[in-house]
A and B are shown apart, each in its own frame.
Chain A
């Protein structure tokens, strides 16, 4: 496990971006340690909050120093009591921050072309990743998709950061009507991509993995599993992943992930809003269950 800090952070800027909120927090010590794909866990509601569980957000970007000290940016969709509290904070309000957490996106050793796929605000960490890839000489294509235009995140930033950008929306309000999976194959082929990075809903990551594999690329996906702690102690954010030894284990997405090779995730276990333990997983329940 890599370096992590817990800091009494301070919100210094909050702004609406389409359907989302873009928050900038002063959180000294995190920027120096962080890499694209890692996340932060924010406490919500203050020290006597009835909402005890931390909310985890992929790091959108970091700045090691500035007038206020190191900052961390995250993108939040207000859909529950914790995220509503967070998006209701004003500049200079305190927010307890733990991070950086999890394993970052692995970067290719050689300058291979890459495709970065973001669903909704799942695109948040991809711009920072794109910069790191281009610094290594990789050609970078981005594919951003969402239900509608207001749910896309970072299209302007993508055009600034990537060599090519393709946008899809379910309702056709921006870019091509349809899903990212409708265009991904042709983007991979056109770019001659060796790696596809994906971040977004689980169903999208599954199809990103299938398409990448079919088009000869390796998929690296950052999964979204609900977490209680973010630091590896609660065992709630597990998913079945096959290791180098061929054995499937229920592994913590906060410590072993959130980035996994897509072809190692046991997508067959997901369905109907739950994830089962595959029968062949290490220590899987025998008759009667756990």
Chain B
């Protein structure tokens, strides 16, 4: 038996596997395939202050070992979300990691405040601050591309949430130095970081010779981006181990399809792992990865999952 519990700051989860925001809706769809309360946490689709239609279609393009999506943060708005979706998650006993966003820093704060005021708030084990969705009309609004903007958003959210609620800033790898952005988010009060969001990409329809997505560009996800996630986790973990950044827990996300994939992110430094695009291929994937990851940890003779976190940093071959 492996002890699969993981601590993300003050939040202790029975296992380290989660859904990824935007890849699992808000739980009821996947609950037909496995109880979502089996997961360490259920990460909800990013919610904003108001209802939002998202973009036109086509919104999706399949790519080699991945896909582009251009949803545009479609959602019901925070009020309907807490009343319907969060209440449902609470009724199942699931632990909700709620992903929030805004078009301005103030909107992030507003969403956080309305979430904290909801009757179902005790189902919330943390808040993931999505400062890195690439599918926004104004690229200047990808807060995580800029250290100052990241800091302002995280600080506002921190102020509006009870101090006991851990907050995780979700970062994009589409930056020159992810350690710099990670540092800004931690300085502003993030209890941890989620890495990575999708990478901005584009597909041309070679029959029509025009962009395949109605929104022109989209976010690249799937196994194709896993090495980018491993790299980002590695760089930020290395900076923490070297004392260049305060130590905070990391949630790894990007291209996880199997327990072996999850272990790769864990060994690079992730204390928890989200399963995203693989869910489209296999709706049971998040639940399956819970068992597969446990088997992987056991295969290495470890009795505690926590002992595998960042282990690759200690096993570097020295020339």
Q: Which of A239, A269, A273 gathers most chain B CB within 10 Å?
A: A273
Q: Which residue of B lies closest to A238 (CB)?
A: B57
Once A234-B69, A275-B56, A290-B137 are accepted as A-B contacts, the answer to whether A54 and B50 lie under 8 Å apart by CB is no
Shortest B129–chain A CB gap in Å is 19
CB distance from B80 to the nearest CB of A (A): 11
- Whether A6 and B284, one on each chain, are in contact in the complex, defined by CB atoms closer than 8 angstroms, is yes
CA distance A106 to B22 in the complex (A): 31
Determine the chain A residues whose CB is within 8 A of the CB of B279 once the complex forms: 229, 233
B77 cross-chain contacts in A, Cβ below 8 A: 283
B135 lies within 8 A of A235 (CB):
no
Does A53 touch B at the CB level, under 8 Å? Answer: yes
Q: Judging by beta carbons under 8 Å apart, are A226 and B60 in contact? A: yes
**In the bound complex, CA of A6 to CA of B64 (Å):** 25
Closest to A273 in B: B208
Convert B259-292 into 0s and 1s, putting 1 for each residue whose CB lies closer than 8 angstroms to a CB of A.
0000000000000000001111111100000000
CB distance from A7 to the nearest CB of B (A): 11
The chain B residue with its CB closest to the CB of A269 is B56
User: Within 8 Å of chain A (Cβ to Cβ): is B51?
Assistant: yes
A236 lies within 8 A of B65 (CB): no
Known contacts A1-B29, A231-B29, A236 near B55 by CB under 8 Å: no
Known: A50-B64, A283-B50. A1 touches B57 (CB 8 A): no
A54 and B281 contact, CB distance less than 8 A: yes
B: number of interface residues (CB 8 Å) = 50
Of the candidates B45, B75, B137, B283, the one having the most CB atoms from chain A within 10 angstroms of its own CB is: B283
Q: Is B59 in contact with A235, judged by CB distance below 8 angstroms? A: yes
Interface membership of A232, Cβ < 8 A = yes
Rounded to whole Å, the gap between the CB of A245 and the closest CB of chain B is: 13
B138 within 8 A of A: yes
Do residues B65 and A233 form an inter-chain contact, with CB atoms below 8 A? no
* Residue numbers in A under 8 Å from B57 (CB-CB): 225-226, 236-239, 274-275
- CB proximity to B under 8 Å, residues A233-290: 233-239, 249-250, 255, 269, 273-277, 281-285, 288-290
A43 on the interface (CB 8 Å rule)?
yes
Decide if A290 touches B65 in the complex (CB within 8 Å). Answer: no
Main secondary structure of the interface of A (DSSP, over half): loop
Digitize A211-241: 1 where CB-to-B-CB distance is under 8 Å, 0 elsewhere. 0000000000000011011011111111100
Q: Is B104's beta carbon under 8 Å from chain A?
A: no
A233-B25 in contact (CB<8A): yes
- Tell me the bound Cα distance from A254 to B25 in angstroms: 13
Check B283 against A275 for contact (C-beta < 8 Å): no
CB distance from B221 to the nearest CB of A (A): 9
In the assembled complex, which residues on chain B have CB atoms less than 8 Å from the CB atom of A229? 279-280, 283
A275, B214: Cβ atoms closer than 8 Å: yes
Report how far A51 CA is from B22 CA in the complex, Å.
19
The one of B24, B55, B74, B280 in contact with A53, judged by C-beta atoms closer than 8 angstroms, is B280
A91 contacts across to B, CB distance below 8 A? none
Q: Is B62 an interface position by the 8 A CB rule? A: yes
List B contacts of A54 (CB < 8 A): 280-281
Query: What residues of B have a CB within 8 angstroms of the CB of A284 in the complex?
Result: 53
- The one of B29, B69, B135 in contact with A290, judged by C-beta atoms closer than 8 angstroms, is B135
Complex interface: chain B residues within 8 A of A237 (CB): 57
A43-B281, A50-B65, A235-B74 as given contacts; A250 in contact with B53, CB under 8 Å: yes
Give the nearest-CB partner of B29 in chain A: A232
Per-residue contact bits, chain B 129-149, to A (CB 8 Å; 1 contact, 0 not) = 000000111100000000000
10 additional contacts (CB under 8 A) given A229-B280, A250-B74: A1-B28, A6-B283, A52-B67, A228-B62, A233-B25, A235-B25, A237-B57, A239-B57, A269-B56, A275-B214
Pairs A-B, 9 closest by C-beta atoms: A290-B72, A236-B60, A283-B51, A289-B137, A232-B29, A229-B280, A283-B52, A283-B53, A52-B281
29 interchain pairs, CB-CB under 8 A: A4-B32, A6-B33, A53-B281, A54-B280, A98-B283, A226-B58, A229-B279, A229-B283, A231-B33, A233-B30, A235-B54, A235-B74, A236-B58, A236-B60, A238-B54, A250-B53, A269-B56, A273-B208, A275-B56, A275-B57, A275-B214, A277-B56, A281-B53, A283-B50, A283-B77, A284-B53, A285-B53, A285-B137, A289-B55
